[in-house]
Amino acid sequence: AAESPQRAEEIRAADRAHVFHSWSAQRHIDPLPVAGGKGSYFWDHEGRSYLDLASQFVNLNIGHGHPAVIEAVERQARQLCTVAPTFASEPRGTAARLISDLAPGDLDRVFFTNGGAEANEHAVRMARLTTGRPKILAAYRSYHGATATTINLTGDPRRWPSDNGTAGVAHFFGPFLYRSPFHATTEREECERALDHLESTIVMEGPSTIAAVIIEPVVGTGGVIVPPEGYLASVRELCDEHGILMIADEVMTGFGRTGSWFAVDNWGVKPDLLTFAKGVNSGYVPLGGVLISERVAAQFDDRPYPGGLTYSGHPLACAAAVATLEAMAAEGMVEHAAWLGEHVLGPGLRELAERHPSVGEVRGLGVMWALELVRDRDSREMLVPYAAAPADAEPVNQVMAACRKRGVWPFATANRIHVVPPCNLSEAEARDGLAVLDEALCVADAYTT
Ligand code: PLP
């Protein structure tokens, strides 16, 4: 786009006058007008470009402006822009087949939604109808969406203002060795104790009342928490033992982010329901869905499924998904994401941790990484407290500002910087991003004691 500061001002003015933004105190935000993007970069109207280490909202797995996806959406728009969910359509059927082929186990049916929260809404509804049980167990330090059910599943402070206490959700602690709720000192200990705790929660809540356990296989916004070896497989076993369904929320982790098509593939675990959105078509057109196992799907062979959406399997969104998944496979993006994590991002971020006392821990895999920032490495006091008031978030805001000033845009949440770039980020781009983070972290170091 042509540079135009005046245009930027017009966009800003319309936004501030009329757009009501998510999660924000409306008077305290100043959203950057974005003019365009290509590959791992996006740019504003004033000639500044940014390396997108956030993949927008951790959804842009194939980067901005992929020509094959743009072409597929254009082609589909000329053919048929919209079709009611009661019809069959070519892009919907092909997308469902491709997604089922990639999915583990017998997850062979897809119910399409417009995004991740709706996918979790429907997975929960399916689990309740299948088991005839009311409750769902969800983890603290989780995010599952912002609708009534999914914000109640969510295990972070975003739930608090909307918690109606009647959603039939009980929370448990997942494993997180760095801030162990179980006073564990090794991954193995953390794993065993987290499983004991989950089992106790099931027993105390009453197995016969629990429809499902919903879990992010790698916790996303809650801190890029990678589970210890064996944890997810044992959760699967616990579920089987008690007739509880396992829902994997792969809205953030699905389609390459962890260096596998699905995060559960890293541990060979097969859930009963798997929810996705974001990476399925990189958000070029909104799309989410539920992958449904044979057992759950069979529940609705002879009775109607009580749920639907006008835009379920929207042709433009599904055409974008088909082109995205084909491009990802043809260009080896998932393998590249795994390689980048193992050989460039992981080692590079760990090297930063050695130099910067503000980095308490580096966690991640594939193109999904977090720097946990602390004031003190020994006490592990968070650089920004849990559920910080806006004023307390200043240190992390300053780190972000230092990155942006240098043309790099990571993702910041709580006391962490998340490095979650597109799967096809090049090695050179990754190294440029690491160099900028190296400079920006000095801002955080100044807060250490
Ligand atoms: N589940 C997870 C793990 C997510 O990360 C998100 C969004 O960030 C959601 C669900 C909600 O998805 P959406 O914002 O598309 O409703």
Q: What is the CATH number of the domain that holds 224?
A: 3.40.640.10
152 with 279, same domain: the answer is: yes
| Rg of the Cα atoms in the chain | 22
pLDDT digit string (tens) for 12-55?
999 999 999 999 999 999 999 999 999 999 999 999 999 999 99
The pLDDT value given to residue 361: 98
* Predicted ipTM of the assembly: 0.99
pLDDT digit string (tens) for 201-248?
999 999 999 999 999 999 999 999 999 999 999 999 999 999 999 999
The single residue listed with the structure tokens 């004031």 is 375
**Nearest residue (CA) to ligand 1, atom 1:** 144
Alpha carbon of 44 to those of 20, 37, 40, 437, 445: distances in Å?
Answer: 21, 9, 14, 21, 30
Domains: count for the chain: 2
Ligand 1 first shell, C-beta below 6 A:
115-117, 120, 143-145, 216, 220-221, 249, 251-252, 277, 288
> Residue 230 Cα, ligand 1 centroid: separation in angstroms?
25
* HSE value, Cβ hemisphere, 13 Å, CA-based, for 268: 4
207 with 292, same domain: the answer is: yes
Distance CA(341)–CA(257), nearest Å, equals 10
315 with 417, same domain: the answer is: no
Distance CA(122)–CA(127), nearest Å, equals 8
Whether 118 and 314 have beta carbons less than 8 Å apart is answered as no
Query: Where residue 392 sits, what CATH number does that domain have?
Result: 3.90.1150.10
177 with 214, same domain: the answer is: yes
Q: What are 428's two structure tokens? A: 């050179």
Distance from chain centroid for Cα 102: 18
Distance CA(381)–CA(231), nearest Å, equals 27
Q: Global pTM?
A: 0.98
267 with 408, same domain: the answer is: no
Give the end of a domain, one of 330, 352, 367: 330
280 with 363, same domain: the answer is: no
- pLDDT band, residue 347 (cuts 50/70/90): very high
Distance CA(325)–CA(371), nearest Å, equals 29
Give the end of a domain, one of 330, 359, 383: 330
> Residue 404 Cα, ligand 1 centroid: separation in angstroms?
25
Query: Among candidates 60, 52, 68, 71, which has minimal Cα distance to 282?
Result: 60
Out of 143, 152, 273, mutate this one to test ligand 1's pocket (max ligand atoms within 8 Å of CB): namely 143
Q: What are 169's two structure tokens? A: 């959700």
132 with 280, same domain: the answer is: yes
Q: Which domain holds residue 168?
A: 67-330
Phi, psi of 343 (to 5 degrees): -105, -20
228 with 301, same domain: the answer is: yes
288 with 432, same domain: the answer is: no
Phi, psi of 430 (to 5 degrees): -60, -45
pLDDT digit string (tens) for 272-330?
999 999 999 999 999 999 999 999 999 999 999 999 999 999 999 999 999 999 999 99
